[in-house]
């Protein structure tokens, strides 16, 4: 028999003995109070009887729990199942009283002493205690069912937790994979507009794009990275767009130094910058500006992408794939602890603000492992 199995049996019996020792001592105090005029002999006699009764009861509690677990799948036929356990009551009464009778000789209340064991004394013990013994048996059976039902519920909860975690991880990975083809398609579309008019710039943009894609593929698979790395990727993307728009695009950076080491989701800024270019800059003949700001305070990291706006952009709302993807990723990574807010402070300005927990490297590492658990939390 494997050692872990033996340890489990030993642990079950130790817990059973400890429980029944306490209960037997309380029952002994109820039925046979201590004689304070003869305290120590009376107390020691109570301990002996309580210990013997506890051993007799504890001997059968683990087997009853084991049998409940074994026969519980047959509980669908309720009548047969109740009859099965009812038939065990006489067996329990005979075995329990028999063991107690062997451990402690019968006590004669008239003679105030223990007497020799006999078949009559055993039968008398059964006659005077069968109701209590039946109740103890029923309590054991009910407790066994409660134990196995609780164990089943905990196992189902653990399985559901693992399923939700795996589902969230796969959905989060799918969202991350969705960004690259979307980003690639939009950027290539921008390059095609320059092929005929400015082939040299288009060629330089293709080289720049290949470097961006290489950097994206070389990133590790962790969900959170330092803001500094995310800023670097967003800066290279905006440099790529600046090659297309030239002087029509102005980029401003207002990033507080203390935020650069805080952790943010991968590819969280680029879709926001792309959204600003597509809906704010591209439709305008005069071009415009994009501003990226970051500051932290009271455990919150605020990242804001602002851009010049026009009527067309405001009418469309800018709710494309990029923003929907960012919102979904925030939901899976942070549940209700993060948010995305699209606002229009005035007629010529659009703003997308992210509010994230200000996680440092160690906190982000722990959060990274737990992130999928927040799917429905």
Cα dihedral sign for 193, 198, 201, 202? Answer: positive
The CATH number fitting domain 219-374, selected from 3.40.50.261, 3.30.565.10, 3.40.50.300, 2.40.50.140: 3.30.565.10
Residue in the block written with tokens 């405001």: 314
pLDDT of residue 357: 93
| Residues contacting residue 73 through CB under 8 Å, at least 6 positions apart | none
pTM as predicted: 0.52
Residues carrying CATH 3.30.565.10, the chain: 219-374
Q: Which of 185, 346, 230, 195 is nearest to 238 (CA)?
A: 230
Q: Which of 241, 335, 220 is nearest to 289 (CA)?
A: 241
Quote the tokens at residue 239: 């440099």
How long a stretch of residues is the chain?
377
Cα dihedral sign for 364, 370, 373, 377? Answer: negative
* Span 116-171, pLDDT tens digits: 778 888 888 788 778 878 888 888 888 888 888 888 888 888 777 775 665 655 55
pLDDT of residue 2: 54
* Span 292-341, pLDDT tens digits: 999 999 899 999 999 998 755 444 444 466 788 788 888 878 877 899 99
Distances (CA, A) of 158 to 145, 151, 164, 338: 20, 10, 10, 26
* Span 77-112, pLDDT tens digits: 888 888 888 888 888 888 878 877 887 777 666 666
The CB density around residue 238, as the number of other CB atoms within 10 Å, is: 22
Distances (CA, A) of 140 to 2, 64, 144, 208, 291: 27, 7, 6, 74, 70
């Amino acid at each position: 028999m494997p050692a872990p199995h033996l340890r489990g049996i030993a642990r079950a019996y130790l817990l059973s003995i400890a429980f029944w020792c306490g209960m037997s001592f309380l029952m002994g105090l109820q039925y046979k109070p201590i004689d304070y005029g003869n305290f120590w002999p009376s107390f020691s006699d109570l301990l002996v009887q309580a210990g013997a009764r506890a051993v007799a009861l504890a001997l059968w509690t683990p087997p009853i729990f084991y049998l409940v677990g074994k026969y519980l799948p047959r509980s669908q036929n309720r009548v047969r199942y109740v009859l099965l356990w009812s038939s065990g009551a006489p067996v329990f009464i005979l075995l329990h009283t028999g063991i107690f009778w062997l451990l402690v000789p019968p006590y004669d209340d008239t003679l105030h002493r223990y007497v020799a064991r006999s078949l009559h004394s055993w039968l008398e013990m059964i006659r005077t205690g069968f109701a209590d013994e039946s109740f103890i048996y029923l309590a054991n059976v009910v407790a066994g069912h409660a134990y196995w039902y609780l164990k089943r519920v905990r196992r189902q909860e653990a399985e559901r937790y693992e399923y939700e975690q795996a589902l969230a991880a796969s959905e989060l990975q799918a969202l991350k994979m969705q960004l690259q083809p979307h980003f690639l398609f939009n950027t290539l579309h921008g390059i095609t507009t320059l092929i005929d008019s400015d082939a040299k710039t288009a060629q330089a943009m293709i080289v720049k794009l290949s470097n961006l894609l290489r950097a994206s593929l070389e990133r590790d698979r962790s969900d959170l990275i330092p803001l500094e790395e995310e800023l670097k990727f967003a800066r290279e993307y905006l440099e790529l767009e600046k090659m297309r728009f030239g002087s029509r695009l102005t980029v401003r950076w207002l990033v507080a130094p203390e935020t650069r080491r805080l952790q943010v989701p991968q590819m969280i800024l680029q879709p926001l910058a792309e959204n600003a270019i597509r809906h704010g800059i591209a439709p305008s003949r005069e071009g415009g500006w994009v501003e990226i700001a970051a500051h932290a305070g009271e455990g919150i990291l605020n990242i804001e992408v602002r851009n010049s706006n026009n009527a067309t952009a405001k009418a469309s709302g800018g709710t494309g794939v990029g923003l929907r993807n960012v919102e979904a990723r925030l939901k899976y990574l942070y549940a209700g602890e993060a948010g995305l807010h699209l606002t229009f402070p005035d007629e010529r300005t659009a703003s997308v603000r992210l509010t994230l927990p200000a996680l440092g490297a160690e906190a982000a590492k722990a959060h990274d492992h737990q992130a999928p658990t927040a799917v429905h939390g």
